[in-house]
RNA sequence: UGACCUAUGGUGUAAUGGUAGCACUGCAGUUUUUGGUACUGCCUGUCUAGGUUCGAAUCCUGGUAGGUCAACCA
């Protein structure tokens, strides 16, 4: 049929700079058309949303070019690492929707790395240095001035060989000796001034136990690990740019498969602290409920808050990849979350700040069941029944005794629609002796219920409600942005980041919800109509539901 | 006062020597039994000074601004 010719042309997505490099490599047959990436976290903390960018990038490239992507734990520093972290990292990567082609650990390569180090020693390209940490630091010089050579730099190969072996055998104390690459103490690149390859650390490793007491440094381990795994494109963040010459130096010196390191700018989010060190501090000082506190920018935190993997992948796609420093506005993240949740979240009515509404002309003790749509964006989710009666809870926000011009919800003498139910008109308010409103009295208008003869009558506002006789209480947590509103750019001078945290970042209130929610289980997400998206907390029991606010609706609902 | 990297609306990101486009934000409007969604329109940009060229966001040179590097962290 002709139909196919009328299909709109698919929009060509421009390549990002990494894809261009890959396609050029494929054209030049640099890696035999192979694309093999890896995500290489150090298991020293939980993954955060910045890692999500890297994960989506690495796994995304592998998928796009029909290649592979490994998960590799860069576990070369046993002091900071733990199995708890490797478990959480695996869970988070899977939650994001990715399956790795191989699961590896830098610690798997300790023997090979050691053998290669011996090889470099034999070739006169590495030496054992007895200098103290301070002496080495001093000898390295400063960026603008060359360093000085260590007095141990010209030891014989035989002596170096013997010393390095004895280092491995545990004959020396921590910090007493290191193995260094013999490169160039005058290099303008500090990382080339005889970088340390191995240090002595008599610490138990979470995987190799006490087998090793010397551990390779990042620079000595990373490129070779990539090489062993046959990685073609080693994608990392910008701060490793100055490490690249060293990465290349080791691959060349050992004459092994040489992956290409490509650097991109890490994600920064406005109002959000992404530093693992600071996040760890919050957890350790019990300032949050844990790594998965819904205020945390960790992947487990945003999961608990109700963000979806789809929206995170879409976010990563939308922010793009480049080499310039960037700060993404939180509004873009929230847009991505809303866009996905709007399609999927089931609607429900809830009242967060209740005030009683009495329909004076509605018979006491009478109730009716009304039809409510579960999700107007997805008709397949069907309808549910909700109970309606004389006494209802509505949100305090939806009533104004003296309304401003732009307010078109309930006010004295004014008509609004109760969602799915009747049009009502406000007669009077009842106040206590202090003048506070205790209840609002209205009349409902007959035949205006949804589906009835006068139901098409137009009123300016529609408000949500729950029946006093049927409503269920729930605890609701409201959060201010991600991560306690901390904005690195707005830090008051002289204050630590802790002092700049917003103490009101979490408000806990009691609200009323519909008696039954479909799919009621931890991490189920709903849109409370006219209020926002809420996620059942992971620790919630059916007796007392706890909700975390995922995101507000755009415009928040209320102009006054 | 070294080396390396970067510079396009408020925020991101395209344009690969040939009409500066897209998304978010903001503002205005249409639809709406969610002040949501959807749709429409508008505002706002090539750091600077030279050079090459018929033509420069793009290439060259010099400035300027920002970032990274001086852990036995990764």
Does ipTM surpass 0.90 in this model?
Answer: yes
Q: Which of A69, A71, A77 is nearest to A104 (CA)?
A: A71
- Structure token digits, residue A465: 């409600």
What's residue A451's pLDDT?
Answer: 86
A168 is catalytic: no
Q: Is the CB of A217 under 7 A from strand B?
A: yes
The gap between A294 CA and B14 C1' (Å) is: 34
Q: Is the CB of A408 under 7 A from strand B?
A: yes
How far apart (Å, rounded) are the C-alpha atoms in residues A476 and A556? 17
What's residue A290's pLDDT?
Answer: 96
Q: Which residues in window 74-133 of A are less than 7 A from strand B by Cβ?
A: 74, 76-77, 79-80, 131-133
Composition of chain A by helix, strand, coil, percent to 5? 30, 25, 45
- Nucleotide at minimal C1' distance from the A200 CA: B72
The gap between A429 CA and B36 C1' (Å) is: 29
Query: Given A207, A260, A276, A549, which residue is catalytic?
Result: A276
Q: Which residues in window 300-329 of A are less than 7 A from strand B by Cβ?
A: 318-329
DSSP-derived pairing of the beta strands A367-373 and A383-389 = antiparallel
A134 is catalytic: no
- Nucleotide at minimal C1' distance from the A464 CA: B34
- The pair phi, psi for residue A518, each rounded to 5°, is -65, 145
The gap between A256 CA and B61 C1' (Å) is: 40
SS (H, E, C) A133-154: HHHHHHHCCECCECCCCCCCCC
CA atoms within 13 A on the CB side of A227: 22
In chain A, how long is the greatest CA-to-CA distance? 102
How far apart (Å, rounded) are the C-alpha atoms in residues A415 and A158? 95
What's residue A5's pLDDT?
Answer: 40
How far apart (Å, rounded) are the C-alpha atoms in residues A541 and A294? 17
Residue A264 contacts residue A321 (beta carbons within 8 Å): yes
A529 is catalytic: no
- Structure token digits, residue A547: 């909700």
What's residue A105's pLDDT?
Answer: 98
The gap between A163 CA and B24 C1' (Å) is: 59
Nucleotide B68, nearest residue via CA and C1': A239
What's residue A136's pLDDT?
Answer: 98
pLDDT tens track of chain A, all 560 residues? 333 344 444 557 889 999 999 999 999 999 999 999 999 999 999 999 999 999 999 999 999 999 999 999 999 999 999 999 999 999 999 999 999 999 999 999 999 999 999 999 999 999 999 999 999 999 999 999 999 999 999 999 999 999 999 999 999 999 999 999 999 999 999 999 999 999 999 999 999 999 999 999 999 999 999 999 999 999 999 999 999 999 999 999 999 999 999 999 999 999 899 999 999 999 999 999 999 999 999 999 999 999 999 999 999 999 999 999 999 999 999 999 999 999 999 999 999 999 999 999 999 999 999 999 999 999 999 999 999 999 999 999 999 999 988 898 999 999 999 999 999 999 999 999 999 999 999 999 999 998 888 888 899 999 999 999 999 999 999 998 777 655 555 566 667 778 878 778 899 999 999 999 998 999 999 999 999 999 999 999 878 899 999 999 997 655 55
E strand segments, A40-101? 68-73
Query: Given A38, A42, A199, A347, which residue is catalytic?
Result: A42
SS (H, E, C) A95-111: HCCCCCCEEEEHHHHHH
Find the radius of gyration of the CA atoms of chain A.
Answer: 31
How far apart (Å, rounded) are the C-alpha atoms in residues A56 and A42? 17
- The pair phi, psi for residue A220, each rounded to 5°, is -80, -25
Which chain B nucleotides are covered by protein, judged by CB under 7 A? 1-8, 10-16, 23-26, 33-38, 66-74
Alpha helical stretches, state H, A378-467: none
What's residue A6's pLDDT?
Answer: 42
Strand partners, A204: none
Q: Which of A485, A203, A232, A510 is nearest to A352 (CA)?
A: A510
Residue A385 contacts residue A372 (beta carbons within 8 Å): yes
E strand segments, A462-544? 462-463, 466-467, 472-479, 506-513, 525-528, 532-536
Query: Given A34, A63, A153, A266, which residue is catalytic?
Result: A266
* Burial (0-12, 13-18, 19+ Cβ within 10 Å), A320: middle
How far apart (Å, rounded) are the C-alpha atoms in residues A277 and A207? 23
- Nucleotide at minimal C1' distance from the A189 CA: B3
Q: Is the CB of A176 under 7 A from strand B?
A: yes
How far apart (Å, rounded) are the C-alpha atoms in residues A180 and A406? 72
The gap between A297 CA and B57 C1' (Å) is: 35
Residue A449 contacts residue A367 (beta carbons within 8 Å): no
Q: Is the CB of A447 under 7 A from strand B?
A: no
Strand partners, A129: A178
């Amino acid at each position: 049929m002709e139909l196919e010719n009328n299909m709109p042309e698919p929009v060509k997505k421009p390549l990002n700079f990494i894809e261009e490099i890959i396609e050029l490599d494929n054209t030049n047959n640099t890696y035999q058309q192979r694309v093999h990436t890896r995500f290489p976290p150090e298991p020293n903390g939980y993954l955060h949303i910045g890692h999500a960018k890297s994960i989506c990038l690495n796994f995304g490239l592998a998928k796009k070019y029909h290649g592979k992507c490994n998960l590799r734990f860069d576990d070369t520093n046993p002091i900071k690492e733990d199995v708890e972290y490797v478990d959480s990292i695996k869970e988070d990567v899977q939650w994001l929707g990715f399956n790795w082609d191989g699961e590896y650990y830098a610690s798997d390569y300790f023997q090979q790395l050691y053998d290669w180090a011996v090889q470099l020693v034999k070739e006169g390209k590495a030496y054992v240095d007895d200098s103290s940490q301070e002496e080495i630091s001093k000898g390295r010089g400063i960026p603008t001035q060359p360093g000085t050579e260590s007095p141990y730099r010209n030891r014989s190969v035989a002596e170096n060989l013997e010393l390095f072996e004895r280092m491995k055998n545990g004959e020396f104390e921590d910090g007493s000796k290191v193995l260094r690459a013999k490169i160039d103490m005058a290099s303008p690149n500090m990382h080339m001034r005889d970088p340390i390859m191995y240090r002595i650390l008599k610490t138990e490793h979470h995987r190799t136990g006490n087998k090793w007491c010397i551990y390779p440094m990042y620079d000595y381990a990373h490129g070779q690990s990539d090489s062993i795994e046959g990685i073609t494109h080693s994608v990392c963040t910008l701060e490793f740019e100055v490490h690249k010459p060293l990465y290349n130096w080791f691959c060349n010196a050992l004459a092994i498969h040489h992956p290409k390191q490509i650097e991109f700018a890490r994600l920064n989010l406005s109002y959000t602290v992404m530093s693992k060190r600071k996040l760890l501090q919050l957890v350790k000082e019990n300032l949050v409920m844990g790594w998965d506190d819904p205020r945390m920018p960790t992947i487990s935190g945003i999961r608990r808050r109700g963000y979806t993997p789809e929206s995170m992948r879409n976010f990563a796609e939308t922010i793009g990849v480049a080499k310039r420093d960037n700060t993404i506005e939180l509004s873009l993240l929230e847009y991505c979350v809303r866009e996905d949740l709007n399609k999927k979240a089931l609607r429900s009515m809830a009242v967060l700040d209740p005030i009683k509404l009495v329909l004076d002309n509605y018979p006491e003790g009478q109730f009716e069941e009304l039809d409510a749509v579960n999700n107007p964006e997805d008709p397949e989710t069907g309808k549910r029944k909700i109970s309606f009666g004389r006494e209802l809870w509505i949100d305090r926000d939806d009533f104004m005794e003296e309304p401003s011009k732009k307010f078109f919800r309930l006010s004295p003498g004014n008509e609004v629609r109760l969602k799915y139910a009747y049009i009502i008109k406000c007669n009077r308010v009842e106040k206590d002796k202090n003048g506070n409103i205790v209840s609002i009295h209205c009349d409902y208008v007959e035949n205006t219920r949804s589906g009835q003869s006068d139901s098409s009558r137009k009123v300016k506002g529609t408000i949500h409600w729950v029946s006093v006789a049927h409503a269920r209480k729930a605890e609701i947590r409201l959060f201010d942005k991600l991560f306690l509103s901390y904005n690195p750019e707005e830090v008051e001078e002289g204050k630590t980041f802790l002092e700049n945290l917003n103490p009101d970042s979490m408000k806990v209130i009691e609200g009323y919800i519909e008696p039954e929610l479909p799919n009621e289980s931890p991490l189920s997400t709903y849109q409370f109509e006219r209020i926002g998206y809420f996620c059942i907390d992971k620790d919630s029991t059916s007796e007392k539901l706890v909700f975390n606010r995922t995101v507000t609706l755009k415009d928040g609902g209320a102009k006054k």
